[in-house]
Every structure is written in C-alpha cells, then in structure tokens.
Amino acid sequence: MASGAVLAAGVFGMVAVAYANTPVPTVPKADVNDRESIIYYRDGKTEIARIGTKRVPVTIDKIPEHVQDAVIAAENRSFREDGGIDFSGMARSVWSTVSGTQVQGASTITQQYVRNYYEGISKDVSIQRKVKEIFVAVKVSRELDKSEILTRYLNTIYFGDGAYGIQAAATTFFGKNVWQLTVPEAAYLAGRIQNPSRFDALEKAKNFAATKERYGYVLGGMATMNSAAYGKYTSAPFEELKFKKSKSKEIYRGLRGYMLNIVLRELESRHITEEELETEGLKVVTTFDRDMMLAAKKVVNAKTKGLDPTIHATVASVDPKNGRVLAFYSGDDFIESSVNRAFDTTKQAASAFKPYVLAAWLEAGHSLNSYVDGKSPIKMPGTTPIQNSGNQSFGAIDMVRAMASSVNTVFVQMGDVVTLEEVAKVAKAAGVGEQAKINPSYRGMNGVDYAVEEQKYQVTIGSASVTAVEQAAGYSIFANEGKHVPWHTVKEVKQIKDGLVLLPELRPERQVISPDSAADATVAMQAVVKTGTGTAANLGTRPVAGKTGTNNGYKDAWFVGYTPQLVTAVGMSKDVPYTPDGKRRVKVDKYGLPKNDKAEVIWKEEEMPAFIGGGGTPTQIWHDYMAIVTAKDEVVQFPPKAGVGIPKNLATPKPSPSPTPRDPFGDDTENPTFEWPDDEGDDNGGGGEPQDCLPWDGSCDNRDGGGVGEGTEGDVGNSRGTAVTPTLTPTPTPAPTPSGRRP
C-alpha cells in the first residue's frame, strides 16, 4: 500500500515538474495569416500561380453567438467550462475510434488552437507532442479568456475549399459575411472542421451524405446545449441550404490550369496534398518552359484553324536526358475543356510504335542490313491478313527502307522472330502504355500488354494505346543512348520560410537498349524524315529522326520525332458527341464540347480529313513548333551508325522495282481495307458482346479487338462519358457516368 502511494506521488511529482517547465509559446507562427504556395516555371523565378487563401480576421463581436455555439457543438461542447482539456472527451474518442462511430475528436478547441497558432507546437503524431500540447492548452486556458481563444481559433481553422477562418468560409460557401450566417449555415460550416479535405472530395463527386450527417450532428448538439434557442432547427432540411454557386478558380484559366492539374497530381502521388499547398507555404519548381508552352499553343492553333472543333491536337515535349516535360499542349483553356490530353488521352500508336519493334530486333542481335520480304498481305496466327498501305508489295527490303516506307508486313515478321513479348518488354521499359491501366476496358493492364494478349501481331504495327507524353518519353531511349528516365513535371519542392528541400527531383535512369541499338534505330528513323513518310519534319541542317503513324480511317494520326536534345510527340484525333441513340450529332462549342453541357451524350471517334494523316498536319505542327523551340540550340549530330548485330535475312536480297512514289503529306495508313479480328482471331472483324468505349482514352480502338484496321461506325462504340481527370497513379476507376462534357 505504502509503496503504491509512493509510486503515485512520484508520478504526480514528475508530471508537476514537466508541467511547470513547459512554457506557453509567445510567438505565433510566422505565416499563420498567409501560407500560400507558389508554383514556378523551370527557371524558378517566373510564377505560374499562387495557391492558398489569406485569412480575413474578424473580432468576436462580428461572430454571432449562434455561429460560436455551432462550432462549440461540433468540436468541444464543454469548451466554456473546461480547463483547456476534456478527459471525458478523450475517453469518448478512444471508444468511438474502437467502435467505428467517431463523431468528435479528442482535442479540445483550446488544444486545436495552440497546435495551429503557436510556433513550437508541431503536428507530428507522438506522445511527447500530445503531452506538450495538453500542458500548453491548460496554461493558455488560464491566461486567456474563452472569447480570445475562440476568436483566434475561428480565424485560423481550415474549413475546406481554400477557406481559412470563419469569415473566408462564410464567403466561400454562402457568399455572405459571417455575421449574416443563419443557424443551419453555421451548423454546416462547423461540421466541416472535422475533415474539410474529405468533405471537399465527396461534395465534388456530388456525394453529400457525410456532410449532411455531420450537419445533423451539429444541430442536435446545439439543441442539447440550448434547447430554447436551437431546438426548432433540429429538423431544418439540409437541402434548403443555398450554397454560393461554385466557380472554377481563375488560377485554372487558360494553359495554367493544365499545368497545375498535372503538377498537383504528381505532388499528390508523392504525398503532398493540395491542402498542404494551400497551407504550408511551399515553393514548387516545375519542369515547364513558358516560351515553349506558348509556342505549342500558337502553332497548334495556326495549323488547326478552320478545322472542325471536334478535331483535337496534342503535343508533348520531353528532355531525353532527364525526363523533364518541358512543354505540352492539351487545349487552350482548362476551365472550358478540362481534359489534360497530353497526359490522359490514350490513342492507338499506329506506325509510331514500329521503332520499338526495331529496337527489339536490334537488341536480339539482328542488324539494319537484314532483309525481309515486304509482301502484302500476310497471314499470322491469331490475326486476319495484314496489308501494307495500298496492299503494295515491296519484295526483299532492309530495315532502313522498311522504316522509311512504313512497311507493315516487315514489322509483323520482325515481331514474330523476336517474339511479341520482347517487343512489349522494350516498349514498357520505355514507359509506354501505362496510362491505359486506369481504364476498366483494359482490366488494369498496360496498353501494350493488352494489345499483345488481345490483338496479337497487330501490336507490331501500333494497336497499343498510348499518350503523347508516353511517346515523347518513350522515344527518349533513342535520343539518350538507350537510357530512359521517367517523365515528370516537378523539379523541386522547398519550404518558402527556410529553403528546406522537401522533395528533390526524381530522375532514376534505366538502360533499356544498348547505345549501339539506339544509334542504329536513329539511322532508320532519320530515313523517315529524309526520304520517307515524314519529310515535312525536316529542319534543314539540324538532324531529325522520327516516325509517322496513321491508323485506318484517319481516326488517329501521329508524328513522334527528336533531335539530340529534345523529343516531341504530336497526335491528332476526332471525338464527336451524339444523342444517346447514336443517330444524331450534338451541336458543339468552339472547344468541341456539347453546347448544352447538361445534355446526355455518347461519344464516337470519327474519321479525319485525309490530309491530317501522320505525315501531314501532325508532322507540320511538329516542324513549326520544333523550329521555334530549338532555334537557339546548338546543332548537334546524332551518333554515327554503329552497325550492331549481324544480318538476319528472312528474304533473299535482290534488285526489285521501286514502288510508286508516295505523297509525303498523305496516307501512311497501314491496312486501309480490312477490319481487325475479334479475340478469337477469326476473319469477320468483329464479334463479341459490345462494350461501352471512350474514344478519348483509346478503349474504342481496342473494342472487340478493334485494332488499327478500318472500322465501321460500330467500332467507335456508344459510350457515355464524363469529364473525369484520371489520377496520376494508374489505378482502375469506376465506369464513367452520363454527362455532356467530354474529357
């Protein structure tokens, strides 16, 4: 008994000493009233945007008693009587957490205040921090009156949607001052304090269940505290709250919105949330070059002027040495058309996939001097006959000529020799096909793996779905001696107040193919620009290599090319909204979106004019843009031909008549007269149950083995889409819901 008393006295004494030695902080956090973050272009000096809200402090006399009571009912009902901590509240919190019914946190208003207001009180999860917080809260409760504590708390707490403090919250959610709030409005705002970011996300998805439940909880608490004043509000309908119409933040206007969209997603993937950006005062240096961004917009607009607005062009430029996305074009105005096409829109690679086949061929030890029969058509296991453009036969030709003339049947046979798995291995190691994983149509598979499994040899001529930025980063293996660095948009994140680096640049390097294979593949792709389907990309004395790509029906068209210092991919496609029965086109605005944004529509990918083939408009866009952005670059030559490997002849080299010259701006389509087989590989070009497909994300290209072959209207599908921007992390997402807006 005596020993127990001594032990208790000892513990009490230790607590008393610790309490006595814990000072009350006197210095507010330096940025307690202003903690916005700044996003910069790659120079670290030119601002893209500032993210965050400055608080608007108000005095207690401006905060009505029912607003004060709402917050107290939500967060700490014993606030006016407790000494800064609430032992019964702590016990309830523990029980609620265990039972899964938590509605009120363990921290009192005073504890939350000292945590958010004073320097020296961190937010880390530790016993030491919690004990210190409790001691300071008790002392503050003795030194400051309740009104002062509540005022400071209400001026600093976060309510969500960028609103810090009760005045900013009142303006943000209801378009009025705090002293004009009604009891139900005050209850709604108070309920948000518990988890503002979660409530933001749910409400943006039109899910108000959680906030409605919290609203009812607060009104019930208010009635318990003062039945006479608030009892009549317990049944106030949530639905009668009149929220301020949400307007997209102007910082997302124009090109800026697309940049912020992808940067915030990348930061989220690295565990920096938008809320932290709005509160922690960070300096984020991106990879973007302002002049290059503007040049991309200027050139695309000039080259697409007068085209149907449902025809879209996208651009992505990557530094092959480090994976930095220097510029891209997804649209003119993110607020009006919010799909970040350069990163999210997957389309068939078409012939722009062939360089990966050549890379696998060279890595297998076969040289550019190998000859393969360019006969047309050709029949391979699991596919219908595959043709060359115009069903033209070329006879025995080497790899350089096969690439320059985009001879389908040669690349099919090359894929057969090295195996489709090895082709896929190279493409995936170069980062190609990852975005397809978020589309349920691909069952969580990489787009290249899906094409191999479902479309067999069609993958060798480009049935895999890719994005512009994947192709730009993928071709980096040819410009960077076989090495690949994953594309990224963030160079560095620092704290503004002290320059502490929170996130360094991520640029892991991987050797995908040998430097010799990269050099020889570049030789073949230089021929595309010098004498083949991509002559419109020629930049004179500056060396250029690349590959065109056009699928049948001119639904997808590409040019992906590079200099030794820069890789740029340009893609074009046409996505058209129809009435739900698929019979009538819906009127569109200048962005190609339905004029009635509430109309239910389906989307079809349609044929573009023939002059937009890969060797046409995409290559011209590439040329004009690259001429601008590389004008000040040193003219550097590609490595010389390495002559890697030994000939692997699948045909006997012999003189053969030259094919009819081709229009360099015209058709480089692969199979203009046939349809791709279904999953079983029969010859009917269709089959299987129809699926919903999303023409902007490539699933229509692959529906029922839809490949790159010429299709009918049915190949485009009748999916209903919604303007959903996928997350950076490639995880499956639910099927989209009907909407009049298209990604």
CATH number of the domain enclosing 81: 1.10.3810.10
Q: Do the domain assignments include residue 431?
A: yes
Q: Are strands 158-160 and 282-286 parallel, antiparallel or unpaired?
A: unpaired
Q: Same domain for 89 and 215?
A: yes
DSSP letter, residue 704: G
Q: Same domain for 200 and 310?
A: no
Q: Same domain for 498 and 560?
A: yes
Q: Same domain for 113 and 232?
A: yes
Q: Do the domain assignments include residue 18?
A: no
CA pair distance 405, 732, nearest whole angstrom: 38
The number of residues making up the chain comes to: 743
| pTM score above 0.85 | no
CB 640 within 8 A of CB 519: yes
* Helices vs strands, H then E, count in the chain: 26, 19
Q: Note the pLDDT of residue 119.
A: 54
Quick: pLDDT tens for 279-327.
888 999 999 999 999 999 999 999 999 999 999 999 999 999 999 999 9
Q: How confident is the model at residue 136 (pLDDT cuts 50, 70, 90)?
A: low
Q: How confident is the model at residue 447 (pLDDT cuts 50, 70, 90)?
A: very high
Quick: pLDDT tens for 481-527.
999 999 999 999 999 888 999 999 998 999 999 999 999 999 999 99
Under DSSP, is residue 386 helix (H, G, I), strand (E, B) or coil?
A: strand
CB 586 within 8 A of CB 695: no
Per DSSP, the residues of 498-556 read T--EEE------EE-S-HHHHHHHHHHHHHHHHTSTTGGG-BTTB--EEEEEE-GGGSE
Q: Kindly state the tokens that stand for 575.
A: 């996505």
Q: How confident is the model at residue 598 (pLDDT cuts 50, 70, 90)?
A: low
Q: Do the domain assignments include residue 266?
A: no
Q: Note the pLDDT of residue 278.
A: 84
Q: Same domain for 208 and 348?
A: no
Under DSSP, is residue 423 helix (H, G, I), strand (E, B) or coil?
A: helix
* 479 contacts: CB under 8 Å, gap ≥ 6: 320, 518, 522, 545, 562, 563, 564, 565, 566, 567
| Segments forming the whole domain that contains residue 157 | 52-240
Q: Same domain for 214 and 308?
A: no
Dmax of the chain from CA atoms? 110
DSSP letter, residue 330: S
Total of domains in the chain: 2
Under DSSP, is residue 303 helix (H, G, I), strand (E, B) or coil?
A: helix
Q: Do the domain assignments include residue 724?
A: no
Quick: pLDDT tens for 377-399.
999 988 889 999 889 999 999 99
Q: Domain containing 624 — which CATH number?
A: 3.40.710.10
Q: Are strands 282-286 and 37-40 parallel, antiparallel or unpaired?
A: parallel
What average pLDDT does this structure show over 450-468?
A: 94
Q: Same domain for 226 and 371?
A: no
Q: Same domain for 344 and 480?
A: yes
Report whether pLDDT(263) > 60. yes
Domain boundary among 240, 257, 283: 240
Q: Same domain for 325 and 212?
A: no
Q: How confident is the model at residue 222 (pLDDT cuts 50, 70, 90)?
A: very high
CA pair distance 313, 304, nearest whole angstrom: 8
Q: Same domain for 619 and 696?
A: yes
Q: Same domain for 444 and 571?
A: yes
Q: How confident is the model at residue 129 (pLDDT cuts 50, 70, 90)?
A: very low
Amino acid identity, position 315: V
Q: Do the domain assignments include residue 736?
A: no
Q: How confident is the model at residue 705 (pLDDT cuts 50, 70, 90)?
A: very low
Q: Do the domain assignments include residue 729?
A: no
Q: Do the domain assignments include residue 390?
A: yes
Q: Do the domain assignments include residue 598?
A: yes
Q: Same domain for 446 and 525?
A: yes
